[in-house]
Structure 1
Amino acid sequence: MTTPASLLFPDAFLSPLVIDEAVARALDEDLGRAGDVTSIATIPEATKAEAIMVTRQAGVIAGLPLAIAVFKKLSPDLRVQAHVRDGASVAAGARVLAISGPARALLTSERTALNFVGRLSGIATLTADYVRRTIGTKLRICCTRKTTPGLRALEKYAVRCGGGFNHRFGLDDAFLIKDNHIAVAGGIKAVLERARAHAGHLVKIEIEVDTLAQLREALDSRLADAVLLDNMDIPTLTEAVRMTQGRVVLEASGGVTLDAIAQIAATGVDYVSSGALTHSVPNFDIALDIEA
């Protein structure tokens, strides 16, 4: 049975090429040179089995296209049916995928499929918690480049499944001028002038500031599209919004926690970026149960 693509993919896009590469790399890591020696030794080749992927906690699901690709890569004869789609909110005990077919392939696929769904659902679940605490404000929750090496596209996809937004994917997406750039280039005005002279007309320029005086300098230059307010407390963020009066996009970063996010949103900044969405997230508890 083929599961319709509309059931697997939310509005967030995940390239099939990224899926193929990630699955091939993960399976190569697990199978090594000899394959699943335990399943080969203990399960007769003709044995069939049925299993269900089931949640052990409530949260938001992400990573099903990867899990399905894992199962199908090990055996085209495995039938996979999705009961939910990525981005869905689920309760503990929810059935996520049903898998049936060759038992060896099913058992060999188990851990890799669960690793993808557990990791990405953890990110989506945490992101959704942040988003829920900002309902009624204009704030958008964004991830950063603080991702697991090699898994950035997947982890940023999971943030979108949780209702968040992506910051830049890499150093080539946009200009983000940080404190060390400013120090080396000779100041805010100088670094912004150099960036603007180099940037194409479709490329945005953001600059990081630590103080309201630096914010004033960036605003007066009229060269920045966005300003990142780094590690500012609530009163300072509120004053930054008042000073800016909508002339540039404002992003808050640093010290962004679940406990603080509602207060940050109330200041009126446009975006918050948090590395914790991807670098400190707990794994989502999900299991694969063989059905008798």
Structure 2
Amino acid sequence: MQPEIVQLIDMALREDIGSGDVTSEYFVPSERQARAYMLVKETGVVAGLEVAELVFKTVDPELEVRMMSEDGARVAAGTRVMEIRGSARSLLTAERTALNFAQRLSGVASKTQLFVEACEGTDAVVLDTRKTTPGWRLLEKMAVSKGGGGNHRMGLYDRAMVKDNHLVAESGGLQAGIDRLKKEKPEVEVELEADTLDQVDAFLKLQGVDYILLDNMSNESLRQAVAMRGADGPKLEASGGVNLSTIGEIAKTGVDFISVGAVTHSAVALDMSLEFVD
């Protein structure tokens, strides 16, 4: 588990527990042992189970966790995905934080799968964006992959993405900037945002362009851009105006990728609970 995720779990537990779980401390005997199941209450794709396990283990290393499903599995309502045994106090203290992680990430995975299913029969890959919950990016992008999607750049450091505001601010020419970047950081890919087919035509004449983002273009314009690109040009990514009712037709235009901010910023938590059985 990456250090950033361990740190996030620690922060979440400190936020919730504070100076102590007074309810469990004063109303649950210290010797009480319990068994509980993490239960999915609606159909969806589960993600974040290993994170939830780490929450339980962080609260109490003596807790025994048995996985009954795996991240990326599509499960029906009523499915038990995890069994936890041990101190009842520890189970109750960890319950909400563990569920918060699992529910949020399962919601992202479930929403992603809906978009992926809408693109079936095409080669288009559904991508996430940087529209993630601050501090949760690693986890939410992991959940997108568990839902069948792909990951766009992680941050500002692993891909140069020249958008309209950069074009306003830049000086010295695009090709010069690309050349400088490729010379100093050859491992970093370059993506240029195009609002018009004229821009697409201009960008296709540049050297070192790995992707062209086709922003808010009509499906007809997307098809024309694909034809202009040919077989060996940069990968094409469609973005803007993408929802479940439009993505299928966008995918049919032949673009390589479709970025969808909604898979993270508009995902609804999957309904899950912790069910105590003894």
TM range (shorter): over 0.9
- The C-alpha deviation readout for 1:271-291, integer Å capped at 9, x for no partner, is 011111111111111111111
Matched residue, 2:89: 104
Q: How does 1:236-275 map to 2 (within 5 A)?
A: 236-246=221-231, 247-275=233-261
The question of 1:154 aligning with 2:139 is answered yes
The question of 1:74 aligning with 2:59 is answered yes
Picking from 121, 129, 145, the partner of 2:106 is: 121
> What's the secondary structure of 2:16's corresponding residue?
helix
Matched residue, 2:178: 195
Picking from 154, 167, 177, the partner of 2:162 is: 177
Picking from 119, 122, 145, the partner of 1:137 is: 122
Matched residue, 2:267: 281
CA contact (8 A) 1:57 1:284 kept: yes
CA contact (8 A) 1:49 1:290 kept: yes
One-letter amino acid matched to 1:89: R
Matched residue, 2:29: 44
Distance in 2 of aligned mates of 1:281 and 1:65: 20
RMSD value over aligned CA atoms?
Answer: 1.2
CA contact (8 A) 1:120 1:154 kept: yes
Q: By how many angstroms is 1:136 displaced?
A: 2.0
> Which segment drifts farther, 198-207 or 151-160?
198-207
One-letter amino acid matched to 1:96: V
Identity of aligned residues (%): 46
Q: How does 1:160-171 map to 2 (within 5 A)?
A: 160-171=145-156
Distance in 2 of aligned mates of 1:144 and 1:130: 14
Distance in 1 of aligned mates of 2:71 and 2:208: 40
Q: By how many angstroms is 1:134 displaced?
A: 1.3
CA contact (8 A) 2:109 2:143 kept: yes
Distance in 1 of aligned mates of 2:175 and 2:70: 44
> Which segment drifts farther, 200-209 or 276-285?
200-209
Distance in 1 of aligned mates of 2:162 and 2:59: 45
Matched residue, 1:291: 277
Distance in 1 of aligned mates of 2:2 and 2:92: 24
Q: How many residues align?
A: 275
One-letter amino acid matched to 2:33: K
One-letter amino acid matched to 2:219: I
Distance in 2 of aligned mates of 1:117 and 1:45: 27
Q: By how many angstroms is 1:184 displaced?
A: 1.4
Distance in 2 of aligned mates of 1:163 and 1:47: 41
- The C-alpha deviation readout for 1:97-131, integer Å capped at 9, x for no partner, is 11111000000100000000000000000111111
The question of 1:208 aligning with 2:189 is answered no
- The C-alpha deviation readout for 1:30-78, integer Å capped at 9, x for no partner, is 111x211111110011111111110010111100111101111111221
> What's the secondary structure of 2:173's corresponding residue?
helix
Matched residue, 2:13: 27
CA contact (8 A) 2:192 2:211 kept: yes
Matched residue, 1:11: none
CA contact (8 A) 2:68 2:81 kept: yes
One-letter amino acid matched to 2:161: L
Distance in 2 of aligned mates of 1:35 and 1:26: 14
Distance in 1 of aligned mates of 2:2 and 2:30: 30
Distance in 2 of aligned mates of 1:42 and 1:124: 37
Matched residue, 1:231: 216
Q: By how many angstroms is 1:223 displaced?
A: 3.7
TM-score, structure 2 as length reference: 0.96
